[in-house]
A and B are shown apart, each in its own frame.
Chain A
């Protein structure tokens, strides 16, 4: 079955960077775009960006431009999201989600989430 398994929780200091991984299995990795979405504590869902696993083409939300980098490794069927210059407002659960695109498009499934805590 399709699985997205993310790396474990992280605690970072302000100004540091964090890199979250999302290892996929059960489907053709290069056939589906991948997205990253985050959710601050008690808040809603915020779209961060998209990566095409073939070639690594990306598009990021303007809010994260210059701070976020999404990459893919086809040899391990894994995508990564790195966020730099962390501040307390970046404390959130970060999700990867596979995009299904058949005319219309939606996210299914999602990874289990990775909690990133930014604290001095």
Chain B
């Protein structure tokens, strides 16, 4: 299994909603990442988890809350988002810091 699975694929949410994005991998990777990608722009790093511990938070607003319940699962909890948060949210994983990265298909989020 060389897949990173993200759910849902699409999400529309209101500014007062609470929702969660989910990312799962069963490759034994110990590093997992959340990236945000706006249209026609490269992905921007949001969070890095290493061995289930948050190691990087790239000054992301607190309305985004990551969680790594176990080594296979990474969540991104969303609350009180703004329309400008609409983007493609990509999850990735790698065996370690110098290994190949595997990406999920992304969740396309629209905040209305």
A, B from the same assembly: no
- Chain A residues engaging chain B, CB cutoff 8 angstroms: none
- Chain B residues engaging chain A, CB cutoff 8 angstroms: none
